[in-house]
Each structure stands twice: as C-alpha cells, then as structure tokens.
Structure 1
Amino acid sequence: MEDGRTSDKVLEKIQEKIFSGEWKPGQKIMSETKLAEDLNVSRVSVREAIEKLAAFNIVSKKKGGGTFINDLGPSVYLNSLLPMLILNRDNYLEILEFRLITEPESAKLCAERCDDELIISLEKIYDNMKNYKDDIQKFTKEDLNFHTKIAEGTKNSLIIKINELLMNILEYHQRGLYETLGPKGGICEHKFILDAIKNRDSELAFIYSRRHAERTINDLKKLQT
C-alpha cells in the first residue's frame, strides 16, 4: 500500500527530469497513466505529485489538454524551498540572521531602482504602522508589508520570492516580539529607512536597514537569556 512518501518520491523523480532539462519549458509531459507505469506506482501517487508541482507553479494543468512544464525562472526554483522553511519555522533567530544579510542590500537596491509610486506605497504603509501602534496584530502585518514592498522595489525576482517565502512564516514570531517589547523601536527605525529610500540614498538605506535587523536580533537574544 502506498502512502504520502510514495508521492514525494514521484515528485522527486519528476523534478529531476524538469530541473535537469530533460523535460523542457512548454513541453507536455506524459500522461498520469504512463508515468505510473514507468515509475511502478499508482496513478493516485502520480496525481498527488503533479498537484504539488502545480501548486509550486512548476507545471500547469490544462483541462482536457494535459500537463505542461512552465518557464522556470529563479523564483519558481525557490518554490521548492517552501516545505523546508515551514518545517523549520520555529528557528526564528536563523531567519533573522538571514534577513540581516539580505535586507540591507534589498533596501540599498530599492533606493536605487524603485519608482515614485512604490515610495508612496511605503509612506502609506508607514502611516498605517503608526496608526496601528496599539493593535499589535495589525501593526505586525504592516511591518511585514513594509519589507515586502522594499523587496518589490529591488525589481529582482529572486529577492521578491525569498521575501515572500520568509514573510509567510515570520508573522507569528514577529508579533510575539512586538507584544513583548512594543512597537516604538520599529516605528522609529522604519522612518529612517523610509526617508533614506525617499532621498534615493542607497548607502543610508543599507545602514538603517542593517541597524534595524541587528536591533531585532539583539532584542530576541535578550529575551532568550
């Protein structure tokens, strides 16, 4: 009898064919029946694997027309990281350390590349943060929106996708930190980052973003001791 591990093995086999280039973007893959025969598994396991690939935007299913390989840009490849990130969602400090490396550079690129419309969006989000300083749940959402918008401003699909994956697992931890320490520090630091981006000062945007990440890490370490 097959279980979820069988469909995961099928998923790995199919991904190997796609990522190795054996199956090309736009190519229609073989039928579920043929795949099941070739891999010596049930059609149910094949179907489950294909559904997962479709959820990760690696393939597209056309009703009555079969399953096709999508064009695989960097952001699509990163979708396969999602299960790993979810499994390790409790290691908040490691995620913050990763943000310490990536977010200052993102802020720097955003200051260099973003358009005026994105700056207006950042200003609105920052205003929302101030308005929601007494509602930690809403405040946290706007905080994460702020960083998501900065990632969009880099105009780099890889940075945008990494940020998207991280934001999906950060909210719970971030909210807990703000509930303990309050939002005052975050409001002040986000203002510095916003002003640097508005002034197109990429170096200051980098510095203030790094200080913000460092302060968050230090606060977390103090709470853990």
Structure 2
Amino acid sequence: MGNKVSDIVFEKIEEKIFSGEWGPGTKIMSEPQLAKKLNVSRMSVREAIEKMAALGLLKKKRGEGTFVNELTPAVYFNSLIPMITLDQDNYLEILEYRLIVEVESAKLCAQRCSAETINELEKLYDLMVDFKEDSDKFAELDTNFHLKIAEGAQNTLIIKVNKILKNLLEYHQKTLYTNLGPSGGIKDHKNIIDAIKNKDQELSALFMRRHIERTIEDIKRLDY
C-alpha cells in the first residue's frame, strides 16, 4: 500500500513540474505540508521525493529544502527508465527502437563522420574480436561501437538520447550475448565499418538494418 501511495504522490509532484507550475529552481513544500495537502503519510511523501531526487527531477539542499531541477532531456528520460522492465517483449521493443534510430544514424555517420571516428570504430572492432569469448566485455565494446556511430552522425539529440539510454542498452547487450554469443555480431560490425569508411550511406544503413533484424529473429527464437 505504501508504494502505491508514494507513486500517486510522485505523479502529483511530477504533474506540477512538467506543467511548469513548479518551474526550475522552485522550492517545493516541506514534507509535512505536502503530506497534509495530499492527505497522505509523511513516509509516502518522503519515498516519492527520494525517488524524484534520484531521477534528477528534484534536488535536496541540506538546511534549505528541496528544489526543482532544470528539466534537461536526461531528466525526462530518467523518469521513463524505471517503467522499462527487461522481459522478452521489452527486448524486442528496444531492438525496434534501435532499428528506427541506428539505421539512419549509420547513414548519417557515413555521410558526416571524421577520419578520427572511423579510426576509433576500428579500434573498438579490433577489441571486440579480442574479447569475443568474454560476453560482458564484448557487450560493453559493442555498446560503445554503436554510441560512436551515433556520435559520427553528428546529431546532438541522437547523441544525448543514446547517452541517457547507455546503461539500459549495455545491460540489454550483455543479456543478448550471454544467450546468443557474439559470433554473428563480429561479421556484421566489420561490414558496417567498411561501408562507413567507403562513405556508402545506403550500404551502411543496409548492414545496420540486417544486423538488428538478425538479432530480432534470434531473440524471437529464444525460449524465455
């Protein structure tokens, strides 16, 4: 019951912040005032505030009170992340998200990226080959490889969103490679790098699409 009430308190405060009623820098009511206003226990208010502080929506200042943070893209996305549970359906949703974003990112990277980005992609690929038997390390390198392509696309929103989702994507990759193994991913990544190096936008997009679609098919065959 306590958690349910604290979730309601969370939503009430979130509504005031996202609507702009409580703007950035606003000092919010004290815990006793909020508890009285919302007719809930102080513990429920405290739980909601702690959660909001952890997500970056609120900032607690010792001796001064609790204040609304600046609403950066990271804050908006952080408030969504706790709703994402990692079951099979969510793995497929993450892969669908990647299919939409990363195919176009690969195309933009082929068009815009610097020689330095290509060099860094090649270094990451070489390390992936070296660590192909270590699924955790391979997954970390794989995530960084895809984030590097996003950087090469030179679109600030894509870069920011991927950085926000980095931990989720990396956890997702580790689980995938624990179950699937990295072998197919190595060849796919080599094809993607070669197409980007040749500045072939369509081929870069095609190889990225094949890579993610193959993973979607693989995960559908897994028995969760």
Q: What TM-score do the two structures reach when normalised by structure 2? A: 0.83
* Residue 36 in structure 1 maps to residue 35 in structure 2: yes
Alignment of 1:217 onto 2:206: no
| Identity within the alignment, % | 56
Q: Residue 148 of structure 1 contacts residue 163 of structure 1 at CA under 8 Å; is this kept in 2?
A: no
Q: Is the 8 A contact 2:25 2:67 kept in 1?
A: yes
Maintained 8 Å contact 2:180/2:218: no
Structure 1 residue ranges without an equivalent (≥5): none
Unaligned runs of 5+ in 2: none
Hey, what does 2:88 align to over in structure 1?
Answer: 90
Q: Distance in 2 between matches of 1:136 and 1:165?
A: 16
Q: What is the match of residue 142 of structure 2?
A: 143
Aligned counterpart for 2:162 among listed residues 147, 157, 160 = 160
Cα 1:199/1:94, change in 2 over 3 Å: same
Q: Report which stretch shifted further, 141-150 or 184-193.
A: 141-150
CA distance in 2, matches of 1:187, 1:133: 8
- The equivalent of 1:106 in structure 2 is 105
Residue 74 of structure 1 deviates from its aligned partner by 2.9
Corresponding position: 1:174 with 2:176: yes
Q: How far 1:9 moved relative to its partner?
A: 0.9
Alignment correspondent of 2:3: 4
Decide whether the 8 Å contact of 1:10 with 1:46 is kept in 2: yes
* SS of match in other structure, 1:64: coil
Give 3-state SS (helix, strand or coil) of 1:143's partner: helix
Matched residue, 2:188: 189
Q: Is the 8 A contact 1:78 1:161 kept in 2?
A: no
1:36-92: CA deviations, max 9, x gaps? 221112222212111111111112222222222122133321222212212x43322
In the TM superposition, 1:196-207 aligns within 5 A as 196-207=195-206
Number of residues of Structure 1 aligned to a counterpart in Structure 2: 219
Q: What is the CA–CA distance in structure 1 between the aligned matches of 2:102 and 2:84, rounded to whole Å? A: 18
Contact 1:196 1:202 in 2 (8 A): yes
CA contact (8 A) 2:118 2:197 kept: yes
TM-score (norm 1): 0.83
- Residues 138 and 44 of structure 1: CA distance in aligned 2, closer, same or farther (over 3 Å): same
